[in-house]
Amino acid sequence: MPGTPQIRPESLTGESATPRRRPVSRRTVLKAGGTLLLSVFAPLPALAAQILAVRVWPAEDYTRVTLENDSDLKATHLIIKDPDRLVVDIEGLQLTPTLKSLVAKIQSNDPYIRQVRVGQFTPSVVRLVFDLKAEVKPQVFTLAPAGQYKHRLIFDLYPVREADPIAAMIEKGDWSDQPGSTPVRPSQPPAPVAAPGTAVQAGQAAQAAQSPVLLKPEPAPGLPPVQTPAPADTPAKPDALAQRPAPTPDREKDKPMKVTRMITVALDPGHGGEDPGALGATGLREKDVVLAIAKRLKTRLEQHPNMRVMLTRDGDYFVPLGTRVEKARKVQADLFVSIHADAFVQSSARGSSVFVLSEKGASSSAARWLANKENEADNIGGVNVQRHDPQVASVLLDLSTTAQITDSLKLGKAVLGEIGGINRLHKGSVEQAGFAVLKAPDIPSILIETAFISNPEEEAKLRDLDYQDKLADAVVTGIRHYFAKNPPLAKSRIA
């Protein structure tokens, strides 16, 4: 009412009826807003890496354990003695059923791992303890995504004392105790076959024909005695291997003589382990079929008493490209034959091929494409770049001589001619490209693409055991024809 005095709340009984509002300062507003922003944008706890798959690849050469994951992992490791154990701590990881499944993947016949224990060591660290059967040299490294794989953490367990490849072949019965001297029984009928020496190097090609090393073989079990060779113009038949030996360049060489050494052939089944190679429409993996063919080829070659074979891998595990070449050189191989099954983006591509090394570029765009694809095997299979020896790589790249390529072309032509009797050829001549696996400087080397696994009809052929047998027979016949026409020099006895 007009004239009525205003009564303030604070005048009532000394207490205000409503709380007194203090003026809100600008600082208070800014402080509250900052707190709100911090609560909204504060970083969330880091998510643990996810293990996508675990794989174990046991082999005599080494055992590999692979953890595939969605991010790059950091791991530390140490060796503990008495008993031998490998302890690995992986950061940023939590125990999952996938990781626990590693325990069941260790096989009882693994040469190096007895068992593995997996546990959550700290809230963010998983510890793996590998109980070992023997002392090992572990290689622990990571691989960036490649091919079908994401990030991978790799444990390679190598033996401390690497096996001597020649000693291993002797133990398996693939190598005579005295490789430098194998007497031939004089009672046998004279039917010598040219045996090789070291690969012909520069300046030796002309001398090779003048100084061949000949071998008069004994009949292999289940095979008839060696017959007189067919005329040179007689077409080759893959199933006539046992009846037709390689011809000798000179009848005077038919005289019985002492064998100075055996023929050593290095067979290289491509891919393996982490690297499956090409895949067929029905799921046939290149690494599986080429290993099967290589084993059949090994059996047939060893039916001839003057031949022995070394496989660069005899199981499902990965071997780096350079290591394949080194293995062949360690056993002083006379030939290197790499076996593959081709694939192309178009399923209509078909036919078998034989390739040799080229120093001047690929003989065709298709050969270049294929070489680039095969040379990616180290990225997919997984090579520890810190363990890679650049000096060895330089030697393998730089020492490929014209003589080696010349001999390889002769071998390739002999083998291709025989394969053409059992399958259509993709191209009627030997092709050339920069295949890393063919770069041994002193060994004639070829790469056989047995068929296109990407072609449904040829994939079915590759599955067929009869085709695998015929292919192996054809390759053996081609190898024998090569040695008959190109007898290389003898080499010194293996120490």
The reply to whether 282 and 374 lie within a common domain is: yes
pLDDT, mean over the chain: 75
pLDDT of residue 491: 61
- Residue 466 domain-assigned? yes
- The residue out of 133, 159, 185 marking a domain boundary is 159
Which pLDDT band, with edges at 50, 70 and 90, does 452 fall under?
very high
For the chain, the domain total comes to 2
pLDDT of residue 186: 30
- 27 has a pLDDT exceeding 50: yes
- 37 has a pLDDT exceeding 70: no
Residue with more model confidence, 12 or 440: 440
Other C-beta atoms within 10 Å of 42: how many? Answer: 7
The gap between the terminal CA atoms of the chain, to the nearest Å, is: 127
What single-letter DSSP state applies at residue 231? P
The reply to whether 352 and 477 lie within a common domain is: yes
With 0-12 CB in 10 A as exposed, 13-18 as middle and 19+ as buried, what is 136? Answer: buried
- Residue 200 domain-assigned? no
In DSSP notation, 136-155 reads EEEEEEEE--BTTB-EEEEE
- The residue out of 109, 134, 159 marking a domain boundary is 159
- 251 has a pLDDT exceeding 90: no
The sheet that has 263-269: what strands, in order across it?
A: 307-311, 263-269, 335-342, 445-452, 353-357, 431-433
> For 11-25, 396-410, 448-462, which range has the lowest pLDDT when averaged over its residues?
11-25
> For 163-172, 187-196, 257-266, 413-422, which range has the lowest pLDDT when averaged over its residues?
187-196
Instruction: Report the amino acid identity of residue 188.
Output: Q
Whole-number Å distance between alpha carbons of 345 and 376? 17
What CATH number is attached to the domain comprising 261?
3.40.630.40
The reply to whether 141 and 254 lie within a common domain is: no
β-bridge mates for residue 450, sequence order: none
Residue with more model confidence, 197 or 396: 396
Share above pLDDT 70 across residues of the chain, in percent, rounded to a whole number: 65
Residue with more model confidence, 273 or 202: 273
Each residue of 302-334: b (16+ CB within 10 Å) or e? ebbbbbbbbbbbbebbbbbbbbbbbbbbebbbb
Reference 327, options 315, 317, 313, 340; nearest CA is 313
> For 117-126, 193-202, 469-478, which range has the lowest pLDDT when averaged over its residues?
193-202
What CATH number is attached to the domain comprising 57?
2.60.40.3500
Whole-number Å distance between alpha carbons of 482 and 441? 19
In this structure, what token pair is assigned to residue 372?
């680039």
Rounded to 5°, the CA angle 30-33-37 comes to 135
Helix ranges (DSSP H) in 147-203: 165-172
Share above pLDDT 90 across residues of the chain, in percent, rounded to a whole number: 51
Q: At 308, phi and psi to the nearest 5?
A: -135, 155
Whole-number Å distance between alpha carbons of 221 and 229? 20
SS3 label, residue 295: helix
Average of pLDDT values for 8-31? 47
- Residue 446 domain-assigned? yes
Average of pLDDT values for 38-55? 66
What are the pLDDT digits (tens) for 48-104?
788 999 999 999 999 999 999 999 999 999 999 999 999 999 999 989 999 999 999
The reply to whether 328 and 471 lie within a common domain is: yes
Whole-number Å distance between alpha carbons of 447 and 334? 15
pLDDT of residue 413: 96
Residues 99 and 357: beta-carbon distance below 8 Å: no
The reply to whether 121 and 268 lie within a common domain is: no
Average of pLDDT values for 117-142? 95
- 6 has a pLDDT exceeding 60: no
> For 2-11, 66-75, 208-217, 388-397, which range has the lowest pLDDT when averaged over its residues?
208-217
The reply to whether 274 and 418 lie within a common domain is: yes
- Residue 336 domain-assigned? yes
- 345 has a pLDDT exceeding 50: yes
Helix (H) or strand (E) holding 88: strand 85-91
Which pLDDT band, with edges at 50, 70 and 90, does 363 fall under?
low
Residue with more model confidence, 484 or 489: 484
Whole-number Å distance between alpha carbons of 159 and 137? 6
pLDDT of residue 384: 83
- 241 has a pLDDT exceeding 50: no
- Residue 28 domain-assigned? no
The reply to whether 119 and 250 lie within a common domain is: no
Which pLDDT band, with edges at 50, 70 and 90, does 322 fall under?
very high
> For 38-52, 193-207, 319-333, which range has the lowest pLDDT when averaged over its residues?
193-207
Residue with more model confidence, 397 or 487: 487
- The residue out of 140, 159, 178 marking a domain boundary is 159
Reference 211, options 178, 260, 246; nearest CA is 260
Residues 471 and 293: beta-carbon distance below 8 Å: yes
pLDDT of residue 433: 85
- Residue 289 domain-assigned? yes
Assessment of whether the complete model's pTM goes beyond 0.75: no
Average of pLDDT values for 310-325? 95
The sheet that has 85-91: what strands, in order across it?
A: 75-80, 85-91, 125-132, 113-122
In this structure, what token pair is assigned to residue 479?
């190898």
Domain extent for 73 = 51-159
pLDDT of residue 415: 97
CA distances from 362 to 180, 370, 416 (A): 39, 10, 18
CA distances from 197 to 137, 207, 236, 376 (A): 36, 12, 25, 32
> For 165-174, 204-213, 363-372, 391-400, which range has the lowest pLDDT when averaged over its residues?
204-213
pLDDT of residue 25: 58
Rounded to 5°, the CA angle 148-320-464 comes to 70
Reference 160, options 222, 75, 86; nearest CA is 86
Whole-number Å distance between alpha carbons of 209 and 320? 35
Whole-number Å distance between alpha carbons of 265 and 336? 6
- 203 has a pLDDT exceeding 50: no
Other C-beta atoms within 10 Å of 170: how many? Answer: 14
pLDDT of residue 183: 32
- Residue 232 domain-assigned? no
- Residue 339 domain-assigned? yes
Instruction: Report the amino acid identity of residue 153.
Output: L
The reply to whether 253 and 154 lie within a common domain is: no
- 171 has a pLDDT exceeding 70: no
